[in-house]
């Protein structure tokens, strides 16, 4: 089950909405981590087989596991993604990025998820931004990106954000609707009920499913996780 283009548990971002955007404008998927620590570069490289992950430019030669900017590529040099690590601190790029994301959820649905995210954002200590590039679509580019993204996500409690799609909770289920109206496909979702999450799979094109989700309800007849 795919989604968020990068599946670790039941994640969902990347198939219907992503492919129509890449190549037209910059498209980002972000991991919003609650840990300020840098995931070691060696740990990320360990999940790759036939692809390269290099720091560009090298940051601290005496501390090779600390990094701020990586390029994931095929062995022939075709770039799959650029990955930036932006710590969140007052006045930092990470804080600016987080503030922009927070401003963008205020009027999104369901309101319960928007409120949950508003309380979650102050816990975020680092933003890992993945810019998706053309090399994603051939020679297992998605597979390589998925492996790296999942390793970052598993490093510490974190949520996922994808442009023109929305946000996940820490379990990887989609909780906030920012899709285009034309989106379709089966997607793993989550809504809050009595302080806990209920997870289910819904048809994004189904208007009744959408309406229930917008109201923070589980649509009738869907598959419960």
For residue 121, the model assigns a pLDDT of 98
Q: Which two tokens stand for residue 87?
A: 């710590």
Spell out the residues 6+ positions from residue 185 whose beta carbon is closer than 8 angstroms to its own: 15, 16, 203, 204, 205
User: Is the pLDDT confidence value at 15 over 70?
Assistant: no
Confidence of residue 57 (pLDDT cuts 50, 70, 90): low
Q: What mean pLDDT is predicted for residues 129-135?
A: 96
For residue 189, the model assigns a pLDDT of 98
> pLDDT tens digits for 94-117?
999 999 999 999 999 999 999 999
Handedness of CA 62, 66, 68, 70 (dihedral sign): positive
Angle (CA) 40 41 47, round 5°: 105
């Amino acid at each position: 089950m795919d989604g968020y283009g990068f599946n670790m548990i039941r994640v969902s971002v990347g198939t219907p909405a992503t492919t129509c955007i890449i190549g037209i404008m910059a498209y980002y998927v972000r991991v919003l981590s609650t840990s300020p620590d840098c995931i070691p570069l060696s740990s990320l490289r360990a999940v790759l087989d036939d692809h390269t992950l290099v720091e560009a430019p090298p940051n601290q030669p005496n501390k090779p596991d600390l990094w701020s900017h990586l390029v994931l590529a095929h062995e022939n040099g075709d770039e799959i993604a650029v990955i930036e690590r932006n710590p969140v601190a007052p006045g930092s790029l990470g804080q600016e990025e987080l503030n922009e994301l927070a401003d963008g959820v205020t009027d999104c649905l369901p309101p319960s998820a928007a409120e949950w995210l508003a309380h979650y954002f102050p816990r975020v200590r680092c933003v890992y931004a993945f810019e998706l590039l053309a090399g994603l679509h051939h020679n297992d580019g998605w597979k390589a990106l998925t492996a790296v993204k999942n390793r970052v996500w598993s490093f510490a409690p974190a949520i996922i954000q994808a442009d023109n799609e929305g946000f996940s909770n820490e379990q990887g289920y989609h909780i906030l609707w920012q899709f285009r109206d034309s989106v379709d496909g089966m997607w793993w979702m989550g809504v809050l009920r009595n302080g806990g999450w209920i997870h289910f799979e819904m048809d994004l094109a189904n208007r009744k499913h959408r309406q229930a989700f917008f109201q923070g309800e589980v649509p009738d007849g869907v598959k419960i996780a």
